[in-house]
Structure 1
């Protein structure tokens, strides 16, 4: 039975988006994830199958974009950006840690062609959900995939990972996608502090919401998103200022390599598809190393 838990519910939306994107012709996809549909609960799989109809797919994307302009493309493009950085031939890390994994399929896609260990870190309820999903969709949890329950607000990250077989001396690719806004600023910094001792050669990719959106001083046309995540309930708690990200990372021993925002996603991923969509300025993606 799917847990009716707010934290667990946030895992469904991005994977439903990835699954619907997979119904696009290959040349028009913003992200390519053939496992996403199978990881979703039945009610979402029914929606995804319905969007095999081009007309209905366009209607769904348009409806999402009306409520949060550019968020559909931003989420799809950030997923593609991370997939590309992870598969870059110059990336010589030999362990992956996904912080706030939700229903992410990367670990299982990696397991198809590699026994590289992947540690999926999430709240207990999401780890239990993921174990059940993998049992249903794949028959078992792949041997290289390790589910690690952690509460980012309270639990020690690295020691808990080590209890599940992680080795801190191995260069690691850390993925922290769609998570930081749900944490308090103190928890964001505490997590960065726990990553301070990552092995040389490690990489970190994470996403964040702009601080001016969190503060309500610039809503970037996404008023309904602000009402949902900031006014009705304080679901989104943290934001960052793009010009201050390098300094923040340096405090914890990381070096900013690049930040990807709407113009990068437009030029690199959206224009080649010929689709009339735009990425939001609300969310940014960061790549760093040490």
Structure 2
């Protein structure tokens, strides 16, 4: 897998957005003081230009024209998952982040908890992440393990076990911004593993709507559809909101709630005083292992 792999390269976009949000002050949609430091030099320089209001607002408007609602979706899904994890911490023994990318969640958590966190991603992203963490923080925290895995081909359970994850641990699984890049077989193989999770485990995962990926509905995001579903063809798998409970139930998971665009706007965007819409294209689901 090369550094120019189109799926691996998508690890940077959400972190640019999170880093930019930190300059919004009290009106920011997500708190992530490490986001900027995890970016490569060129993107850090670009993001620092957005500390000024006018270029930042221009950048957000440009993103909204290109991908309507995705700015709020990405920002708010991060906050939603952070809040779910914080609430669950007293009742879990480990955290597994599937498709960790350049996300900082494990490192923000390590500053206040010794709970073991296992970051899983493509080998190119894990190698890059290790270098980034050493540059930004000096060393990978003792509580964080970095695990290279190809979800389509590798044995996820074996790799997690080899790196110290115990099957009996009640685990909070985070699967953010990943499922659309996999085939249905890859998604189901991961759920086969998740079906072995200990009762009391939790799962927060995002998905792109199937009716967007197959082109039935574009939800005003024509350029997004052309980019990911037509030209690059790297968005492969989707589900619709009504599909989630029946899809995950055979694997032993019970749907607790979902955060779609209305939820994100009501809980995060409006209270922040921001005038942003959220997109129907991506949703976040939260489930518990029965």
Consecutive unaligned residues of structure 2, counting only runs of 5 or more, are: none
Between the aligned partners of 2:170 and 2:88, the Cα distance in structure 1 is 15
Partner of 1:83: 82
Partner of 1:219: 218
Task: Give the aligned length.
Answer: 288
Between the aligned partners of 1:151 and 1:185, the Cα distance in structure 2 is 14
How is 1:1-290 mapped onto 2 (pairs within 5 angstroms)? 3-25=3-25, 27-88=26-87, 92-290=91-289
Kindly indicate whether the alpha-carbon contact (under 8 Å) linking 2:7 and 2:181 is maintained by their aligned counterparts in 1.
Answer: no
After TM superposition, where is structure 1 displaced by more than 6 Å over at least 4 residues in a row? none
Between the aligned partners of 2:15 and 2:115, the Cα distance in structure 1 is 23
Between the aligned partners of 1:52 and 1:170, the Cα distance in structure 2 is 42
Q: Measure how far apart 1:47 and its partner are.
A: 1.2
Consecutive unaligned residues of structure 1, counting only runs of 5 or more, are: none
Between the aligned partners of 1:114 and 1:231, the Cα distance in structure 2 is 43
Post-superposition CA distance 1:32-67 (Å, at most 9, x none): 100000000011101110000000000111111101
TM-score of the two chains, using structure 1 as the length reference: 0.97
Kindly indicate whether the alpha-carbon contact (under 8 Å) linking 2:168 and 2:198 is maintained by their aligned counterparts in 1.
Answer: yes
Between the aligned partners of 1:193 and 1:3, the Cα distance in structure 2 is 29
Which piece of structure 1 moves more, 2-11 or 32-41?
A: 2-11
Q: Measure how far apart 1:188 and its partner are.
A: 0.6
TM-score of the two chains, using structure 2 as the length reference: 0.97
Kindly indicate whether the alpha-carbon contact (under 8 Å) linking 2:7 and 2:234 is maintained by their aligned counterparts in 1.
Answer: no
Between the aligned partners of 1:28 and 1:199, the Cα distance in structure 2 is 38
Between the aligned partners of 1:188 and 1:108, the Cα distance in structure 2 is 26
Which piece of structure 1 moves more, 85-94 or 154-163?
A: 85-94
